[in-house]
Amino acid sequence: MATRIPPTIPKPPERAPERDDGGTVLLERKPERTKPPQMHQVVLLNDDYTPMEFVVVVIQEFFSKDRETATQIMLKIHLDGKGVCGVYSKDVAATKVDQVTEAARKAGHPLQCVSEPLDG
Ligand code: TYC
């Protein structure tokens, strides 16, 4: 009896499964490039009651500015109505706002501090 030769079925080209560093099989690779996180500026607002000295100390302590720089920022806020004290990731900016607001309330001052997303 003649031996039947099975038809050869062409196989798709083999490709080893890709793995990440933790040994997990990846079905799809994520895009190589990720956008840098959106940054947020922390802004102090002027008011008629918070003492200038308190604002200078807040800017020095919470935004790591030297006394001269802190004084310049405070005067800018006093004259223009608002001023940027620093630029941070969203979470860090929110923490700065909370810390400044808490310090102002504790001292009995109405100082306002807000975070604003930066475009780009
Ligand atoms: N305008 C306030 C005053 O004359 C000083 C001040 C500056 C208050 C900056 C708030 O964010 C501020 N005492």
pLDDT tens-digit profile of 56-92? 999 999 999 999 999 999 999 999 999 999 999 999 9
Work out which ligand 1 atom sits closest to the CA atom of 50: 8
Rounded distance from Cα 100 to ligand 1 centre (Å): 14
Rounded distance from Cα 93 to ligand 1 centre (Å): 21
**What does the DSSP 8-state code read for residue 43?**
E
pLDDT in tens, 17-63: 455 566 776 577 777 888 999 999 999 999 999 999 999 999 999 99
Q: Report the C-alpha gap between 83 and 104 in whole angstroms.
A: 17
CB 84 near ligand 1, within 6 Å: no
Confidence band (pLDDT; 50, 70, 90) for 15? very low
CB 77 near ligand 1, within 6 Å: yes
pLDDT for position 21:
65
pLDDT at position 10 over 70: no
Mean pLDDT score of the chain, rounded to an integer?
88
CA 69 centroid distance within chain: 23
Asked if 26 and 20 count as a contact pair (C-beta separation under 8 A), the reply is yes
For the four alpha carbons of 15, 16, 22 and 25, in that order, the dihedral sign comes to positive
Asked if 62 and 100 count as a contact pair (C-beta separation under 8 A), the reply is yes
pTM for the full model? 0.76
Which residues 6+ apart lie within 8 Å of 95 measured at CB? none
CB 53 near ligand 1, within 6 Å: no
Cα-atom radius of gyration of the chain, to the nearest Å?
A: 29
Asked if 64 and 117 count as a contact pair (C-beta separation under 8 A), the reply is no
Rounded distance from Cα 48 to ligand 1 centre (Å): 6
Q: Report the C-alpha gap between 82 and 74 in whole angstroms.
A: 9
What structural domains does the chain harbor?
A: 49-117 (3.30.1390.10)
